[in-house]
Chains A and B, each alone.
Chain A
Amino acid sequence: MNREDSGIEERRPNRVVRILVVVFFGLLLVALGAMKWGGEQEEKVSGTGSERYGFYLKEVGKQVGIDFVHEAPVLDAKLDHIMPIIASMGAAVSVVDYDRDGWQDLYVASSRRGSLNRLYRNIEGTGFRDVASDLGVADVNRGGVSMGSVWGDYDNDGFEDLFLYKWGRPELFRNLDGKAFERVTETAGLPGWINAGSAIWVDYDCDGYLDIFVAGYWPESLNLWDLETTRMMPESFEYANNGGRKYLLRNSGDGTFEDVTVQVGIASRRWTLAVGAADLNGSGFPDLFLSNDYGISELYVNEGGKRFVEMGEQAGVGRQPKSGMNAAFGDVLNRGDLAIYETNISQAGVLIQGNNLWVPMGDETLRFENLAGAMGVDLGGWSFGAQFGDLNNDGALDIVLTNGYVSADGSGNYWYDFSQVAGGHSAIISDAKNWPPMRGRSLAGRQTKRVWVNDGAGQFVEVAQAVGVQDRFDGRAVALVDLWNRGVLDVVVANQRGPLLLYRNTVRAEANWIGFDLFGQQSNRSAIGARVQVFWNGEVQVQEVLGGSGYAAQNQRPLHFGLGEGAAVDSVAIRWPSGHMQMFYTPDVRRVHRILEN
C-alpha cells in the first residue's frame, strides 16, 4: 500500500548528477561494509593499562582464599525447557565491615535450595576466611533462595545488620556486636513471601531509623518451586505490569517494621531488578529510582518523607521501555549533582536498547537526559551490575560493568527463539509453555566486560581488556571496595553459576585520594543518605552513602574520592539525613576520615 513512488516523471536524468549520486550511494554502502567487517578488529593496545590509564586490575580471588562458586536455583519442572533463563539471577555480593575491625568483609549469596551463603571475613588484608556458618548466616537458602543482601544498622547499635532478600521469605539478621547474628525475621514483622529482585536500606522519612524497600520481581503469589500455572511470565517485553508488588517497610524504632507502601503512594507492579535511593532534587529526602525489566523505569519523588509521587515520565527517565537491570548514582561531570546509570540489553543485530546514563539537566526542574550514547557508555552487551567509582584516583568517576546472560555448554544460541516470543502478543509471551526450549543453547553468553574510564571532560573510554578484566562469566553483581586499606577501589564481581572474582587494583602512586567513614547520631548510625561534597582544585564532587547500589550489590559504606596527582582538598561539606550540616577545611588527603555526626 505504501506509495513510495518518488513522484519522478520519466524524463531523462541529469547524467552527471546521476553518476555522482551512484558514487555517493556506493560510498555509503562501502562505509557501512567497512564498519561491519573492518570494525571487528580489536584495538591494539600499546603499553599496559597502568601506564595508559593509571591503574591495573588483577584477579586474585583464589590467592586470597576466596573459592566461592555460585549455584543457581532449580525451580518447578514445568520450567525445565527454559530453566537457564528463569534461574538466571541470584549471584550477589555486598560489602560490610560487620565486626568493625576496620577491614571490609564480603557477603556472597548462593541460590540453590540448601546451598550455603558465605561471609568472607577480611583478615586484616592477609586473606579471607568464610565465617558465615560460625556466625549463623550461611544456611539461609530454605524457604526460598537468596537473590541479594544489604547491610544497615537498623537498631543503631553501631553494628551493621543483614537484610537478605530472596525469591521466598525475606530474612533479617541482627548483628550481635560483630560476634554472631540473631535471626529476627518474625519479630521484625517482615512479609511472608516476596519474589524479590532488589532491596535497599533507606531512611525515607529521615527519622533516624533505617527503613527497608524491597522490590518484587515475580508476583509474590507465585511459588516458583510449585507452580499452579505456566502463565506467570511477563505480559509483554516492554509494557509488563504484572510483576511483584513493592514494599516500603518503615522501621518503628522498636525492632519491628510496618508496611507503609500503599500509605505513601507506591503502587508499582513492574518487574523491578534494581532500586536506588538518593536525594535527586535536593529536598533533603531520598527519592527512589526503580530500574524495571520489561518496561519503563520509575522515579518516586519523596515529598517530605510523607509520601512518594511517581514522576518518571516528567523527569524523562520513564518514557522509553527497556530492560532495566541496574541503578547506580554518580557525579560523572563533577558538577555537584548525581547522574543515574541504568543498564539494559544491547546485542548486535538483535536488540540495541543501549544503557542509560541519566544526567540531570542542570536547571531547577527534576529532569534528566540520557547521555549514555554521547558519553560512550551505552553499549555493554546484556548488561547487569555496574558501579561508579574512581578507579585511577584521577578525580573523575569511572564505570565498571559486568554482563552476559546465559552461557551454556552446548553450541548455538537462543536469540532467534527469544526474539520470536519476545515480540509476541501478551497472550503468547506470558505463558512459559510458549517459550521455545533452550536445548543447551546460550543467550548473550561469554560476553566481554566493560571498564569505562572517565576522561573528566564528558567522554568515557572502554579499557577492560587493557587493564586486566578479561573474564567471560555471566556477571551479575559488581561491588567496589578498598579491601586492603590502600586508598584504591578494588572490584568484586559475583557471577551466575560462576566464581566470585576479586580484582585487586593497582593505582599510580602519585594520585591523591580522600575517604570518609560517617557515623550518624541524630541520623541513622550507618549514615545512609548522608551527602558529602568535596571541593578541590576548583572542582566539586558529590557522593551519598547508599544502602545498596547497582544490581544485587552494595559497595563499601565509606565514601572514596579520587583527587588526581598532587591535589589537596579545599573543603568538605556533609549534609546528614537529619539535615545537619558539617564543614571541614583543608583535611588531610590520603586517609579515611572517621566522622561522627555533630
Chain B
Amino acid sequence: MDRASGFWKSVWTGLQSRYLSPALITCILIGGQVTFGFLESLGQTLTAILSSVLTEFALGRLTWGVWPGLISAYITGISVGILIRSPLFWPYALCSVLSIASKYVLRWRGRHLWNPSNFGVSIMLFLAPEVVAGLSIQWGNTLSVMVIIWVLGSAALWRLRRFHICAVYVISFLAFALIRCAFTGQAYLTSIAPITGPMYQLFIFFMITDPKTTVLTRKGQCFVAFLVAFVEMILRLNEAIYAPFYALFIVGPAANAFEIWRKAKATTDEHG
C-alpha cells in the first residue's frame, strides 16, 4: 500500500514539475489577453505556437527518429507569440521555426547552447527590425497583476529549485541600475522601469532559468545570472533597447560552451 502510494505521489510530483512551466505560461497568456488584450492578435500567437510545435514534431521525428515531447515547443511558441510584435504573421512563424531549429543545429557534444526562444527572438529583433519589435507593454495600470505574476513565477521557480537564478539576476539588475544612473544621470525609477513589465517576467521565468541551457552547478548559475545582468548593463549604457535578450544571447551559450569544454577536458584528463 505504502509503495503504491509512494509511486502515485512520485508520479504526481513529476507531473507537477513537468507541467508547472507550461501551466504558468498559459496562465500568463490567457490572463494577459483576457484582462488587457496584450497580444498583437490571437491568430499571430497561435501561428507561433503551431509553427513551434510542428517544427519540433518534424525535426524530432526526422532527425532523431523519435516522437519528441512537445511541451518545450509549446512554451517556446507562447514565448515567441508574446515577446515579438509585428503586424504581419510570417515573423511569428519564422521566429518559432528558428527557435526550435536552433536546438537541432547549434549543438555541441549533445547539448544545445542557446535557449531556443532567446535565440529566435534575438535574431528576429536584430535581423528583421523593419517588421519586428519586442514586447513593450504593461500589465494594465494596476500593480496587482504584476505582483501576482511575480509571486506565482517565484513560487514555481522555488519549486523547481531555480529561484536563486532569478534572485541573483534581479538583485544584480537593480544594483547595476544604480551604476547606470551614475553614468547617465537618469532617475533610478526610470532605470528600473523596464523590469516592471511582462517582458522581463517572461525573460526571467522562461529564459535565464531554462534548465537545458543553464550551467549545471548552483554557483555557476548564480555567476552566469550576474554576468547576464552585467552585460545587459553594458548594452543598456550603449542604448540597446533589447539588452536583456542580447545579453543572454551572448553570455548563455558562452557559459554553456565553457562548461562543456571543461567537462570534456576533465573527462579526458581522467582517462588520459
By a beta-carbon cutoff of 8 Å, the part of chain A in contact with chain B is 1-11, 13-14, 17-18, 21-22, 24-25, 28-29, 32-33, 35-36, 39, 235-241, 296, 319-321, 347-354, 370, 372-373, 378-379, 415-417, 419-429, 433-437
Please determine whether B115 and A4 come into contact, CB atoms closer than 8 angstroms.
yes
Instruction: Determine how close the nearest CB of chain A comes to the CB of B153; give it in whole angstroms.
Output: 8
The contact sample of 18 A-B pairs, CB cut-off 8 A, is: A1-B157, A3-B210, A4-B76, A5-B69, A7-B66, A8-B64, A11-B64, A236-B140, A296-B37, A348-B129, A348-B130, A350-B133, A352-B87, A352-B132, A373-B88, A419-B241, A422-B136, A425-B143
In the bound complex, residues from chain B placing their C-beta under 8 Å from that of A419 are 136, 194, 241
In the bound complex, residues from chain B placing their C-beta under 8 Å from that of A5 are 69, 72, 211-212
- Kindly identify which residue among A33, A36, A352 contacts B85, using a CB–CB cutoff of 8 Å: A352
Please determine whether B104 and A32 come into contact, CB atoms closer than 8 angstroms.
no
Please determine whether B193 and A28 come into contact, CB atoms closer than 8 angstroms.
no
- Kindly identify which residue among A32, A373, A424 contacts B138, using a CB–CB cutoff of 8 Å: A424
Instruction: Determine how close the nearest CB of chain A comes to the CB of B196; give it in whole angstroms.
Output: 4
In the bound complex, residues from chain B placing their C-beta under 8 Å from that of A235 are 141
In the bound complex, residues from chain A placing their C-beta under 8 Å from that of B128 are 32, 35-36
Interface string of B196-228 (1 = CB under 8 A from A): 110100000111011111000000000000000
Given contacts A1-B209, A423-B197, A425-B193, contact A239 B110 (CB under 8 A): no
Please determine whether A2 and B206 come into contact, CB atoms closer than 8 angstroms.
yes
Please determine whether B138 and A6 come into contact, CB atoms closer than 8 angstroms.
no
Given contacts A237-B137, A320-B41, contact A1 B162 (CB under 8 A): yes
Interface string of B40-77 (1 = CB under 8 A from A): 11000000000000001001101111101111110110
Instruction: Determine how close the nearest CB of chain A comes to the CB of B37; give it in whole angstroms.
Output: 5
Please determine whether B138 and A4 come into contact, CB atoms closer than 8 angstroms.
no
Given contacts A3-B211, A423-B137, contact A14 B64 (CB under 8 A): yes
Instruction: Determine how close the nearest CB of chain B comes to the CB of A1; give it in whole angstroms.
Output: 4
In the bound complex, residues from chain B placing their C-beta under 8 Å from that of A9 are 64, 66
Please determine whether A25 and B102 come into contact, CB atoms closer than 8 angstroms.
yes
In the bound complex, residues from chain A placing their C-beta under 8 Å from that of B190 are 417, 420-421, 424, 428, 434-436
Instruction: Determine how close the nearest CB of chain B comes to the CB of A397; give it in whole angstroms.
Output: 21
Please determine whether A423 and B123 come into contact, CB atoms closer than 8 angstroms.
no
How many chain-B residues does the 8 Å CB contact rule pick out?
Answer: 94
Q: Which residue of B lies closest to A1 (CB)?
A: B209
Interface check B21, CB cutoff 8 A: yes
Chain A to chain B: the 6 pairs with minimum beta-carbon distance, closest first: A424-B193, A7-B69, A349-B129, A354-B87, A416-B239, A2-B206
Interface of A is mostly: loop
Complexed CA–CA distance, A426 and B139 (Å)? 9
Interface check B26, CB cutoff 8 A: no
Please determine whether A14 and B105 come into contact, CB atoms closer than 8 angstroms.
no
Instruction: Determine how close the nearest CB of chain A comes to the CB of B124; give it in whole angstroms.
Output: 8
In the bound complex, residues from chain B placing their C-beta under 8 Å from that of A420 are 190-191, 193-194
Q: Which residue of A lies closest to B136 (CB)?
A: A423
Complexed CA–CA distance, A13 and B112 (Å)? 14
Give the residue among B88, B153, B162 with the most A Cβ atoms within 10 A: B88
By a beta-carbon cutoff of 8 Å, the part of chain B in contact with chain A is 18, 20-22, 24-25, 36-38, 40-41, 56, 59-60, 62-66, 68-73, 75-76, 79, 85-88, 94, 97-98, 100-105, 110, 112, 115-117, 123-133, 136-138, 140-143, 146, 153, 156-157, 160, 162, 184-187, 189-191, 193-194, 196-197, 199, 205-207, 209-213, 236, 239-241
In the bound complex, residues from chain B placing their C-beta under 8 Å from that of A33 are 127
In the bound complex, residues from chain B placing their C-beta under 8 Å from that of A372 are 87
Instruction: Determine how close the nearest CB of chain B comes to the CB of A16; give it in whole angstroms.
Output: 9
Please determine whether A426 and B21 come into contact, CB atoms closer than 8 angstroms.
no
Please determine whether B63 and A4 come into contact, CB atoms closer than 8 angstroms.
no
Q: Which residue of A lies closest to B124 (CB)?
A: A32
Complexed CA–CA distance, A22 and B62 (Å)? 13
- Kindly identify which residue among A29, A351, A370, A436 contacts B136, using a CB–CB cutoff of 8 Å: A351
Q: Which residue of B lies closest to A7 (CB)?
A: B69
- Kindly identify which residue among B65, B68, B132 contacts A7, using a CB–CB cutoff of 8 Å: B68
Q: A25-B98, A238-B36, A424-B197 are in contact. List 9 more A-B contacts (CB 8 A).
A: A8-B63, A18-B104, A237-B137, A239-B138, A321-B37, A321-B137, A349-B132, A352-B132, A419-B194
Given contacts A6-B103, A29-B123, A428-B193, contact A13 B63 (CB under 8 A): yes
Complexed CA–CA distance, A24 and B86 (Å)? 23
Please determine whether A21 and B187 come into contact, CB atoms closer than 8 angstroms.
no
Complexed CA–CA distance, A184 and B39 (Å)? 48
Please determine whether B60 and A6 come into contact, CB atoms closer than 8 angstroms.
yes
Q: Which residue of B lies closest to A429 (CB)?
A: B193
Please determine whether A1 and B133 come into contact, CB atoms closer than 8 angstroms.
no
Please determine whether B138 and A426 come into contact, CB atoms closer than 8 angstroms.
yes
Instruction: Determine how close the nearest CB of chain B comes to the CB of A291; give it in whole angstroms.
Output: 17
Please determine whether A353 and B210 come into contact, CB atoms closer than 8 angstroms.
no
Given contacts A2-B210, A29-B127, A424-B190, contact A319 B37 (CB under 8 A): yes
In the bound complex, residues from chain A placing their C-beta under 8 Å from that of B86 are 352, 354
In the bound complex, residues from chain A placing their C-beta under 8 Å from that of B189 are 424, 427-428, 434
Please determine whether A434 and B131 come into contact, CB atoms closer than 8 angstroms.
no
In the bound complex, residues from chain B placing their C-beta under 8 Å from that of A348 are 129-130
In the bound complex, residues from chain A placing their C-beta under 8 Å from that of B132 are 349, 352
- Kindly identify which residue among B65, B130, B193, B239 contacts A14, using a CB–CB cutoff of 8 Å: B65
Complexed CA–CA distance, A240 and B138 (Å)? 11
In the bound complex, residues from chain B placing their C-beta under 8 Å from that of A29 are 98, 123, 127
Given contacts A348-B130, A372-B87, contact A425 B187 (CB under 8 A): no
Please determine whether B141 and A236 come into contact, CB atoms closer than 8 angstroms.
yes
Please determine whether B212 and A10 come into contact, CB atoms closer than 8 angstroms.
no
Q: Which residue of A lies closest to B212 (CB)?
A: A5
Complexed CA–CA distance, A21 and B150 (Å)? 38
